[in-house]
Amino acid sequence: MDPFNLNPNTVHGWQKTGGTLLQTSRGGFHLHTIVDAIQCYGFNQVYIIGGDGTICGAVKIFDEIRCSKLNVGVLGIPKTVDNDVGISDISFGFQTIIAADVEVESGVNGIGLVKLMGRSTGHIALHVTLSSHSVDCCLIPENKFYLEGKGGLFQFLEHRLKENGHATVVVVVSPRE
C-alpha cells in the first residue's frame, strides 16, 4: 500500500467504521521493508500508535533506523485497552474504556453477564467492577475459579439471586477455568 495524505477529507467518517482502514495486522512485520520505505518516501518522523506488541515493534524500527544512521524520529504512542505497555502508567485506550459508564440491568432472578476485553489480563474488568458498584462477581485470567461445588461460581450466584433477586457478572473474554 502506498502512503497517502491523511487530512480531514480522507479520514471523514473513519470513527464510525470498525477495524482498520490503514491495513494493519497482528503479528510479525518486515523490518527492513518498513525502514526502506521510510527512507524511500523521505519521512523524517514516524508515529506508531498501539499496544504492547506495537510498541515493541516500534523499538525495533527505531533501532534499525539508528543503525542505518537515518535522520528519522520515531515516536511510540501507547494505546491499549489492556494497559499492558510497561513504559506507561496508563494509555488513552485504557482510559477511554474505564471512563465509559457501565450499566447492567438484570431482571428479577436474572443474571447480567458483561464480557470485557483483556486478552491475558483483567485490568479492565477489575477497574470496571470497582467503579460500577453493581457487579457481584468479576472473573479474570489471573485468578483461577471453578463453577460447581462448595464455593463455586454457581453456588455464589444462587446465593446472590436469593439475596438480591439478581446478579451481575463481569468476565474477561477468555478467563481460565
Cβ(114)–Cβ(103) below 8 Å: no
Using the 3D structure, point to which of 78, 111, 133 is the last residue of a domain.
78
Residue 157 falls inside a structural domain: yes
Residue 93 falls inside a structural domain: no
Q: Which three cell numbers stand for residue 93?
A: 485506550
Residue 90 falls inside a structural domain: no
**How confident is the model over 94-113, as pLDDT tens digits?**
666 555 544 445 467 788 88
**How confident is the model over 21-63, as pLDDT tens digits?**
776 666 678 999 999 999 999 999 999 888 778 888 999 999 9
pLDDT of residue 165: 85
Reported pTM: 0.57
Report, as residue numbers or ranges, the catalytic residues: 82
Residue 20 falls inside a structural domain: yes
Closest CA to 137 of 101, 173, 111: 111
d(CA 132, CA 140): 16
Return left, alpha or beta for 64; rule: phi > 0 is left, psi -120 to 50 is alpha, else beta.
alpha
Furthest CA-CA distance within the chain: 68
What is the domain range of residue 112? 100-172
Tell me which range, 61-70, 85-94, 129-138, 156-165, is most confidently predicted by mean pLDDT: 61-70
Using the 3D structure, point to which of 78, 113, 130 is the last residue of a domain.
78
Average pLDDT over residues 60-89: 84
Count of domains observed in the chain: 2
Q: Which of the 8 DSSP states describes residue 102?
A: P
Average pLDDT over residues 64-75: 96
Residue 92 falls inside a structural domain: no
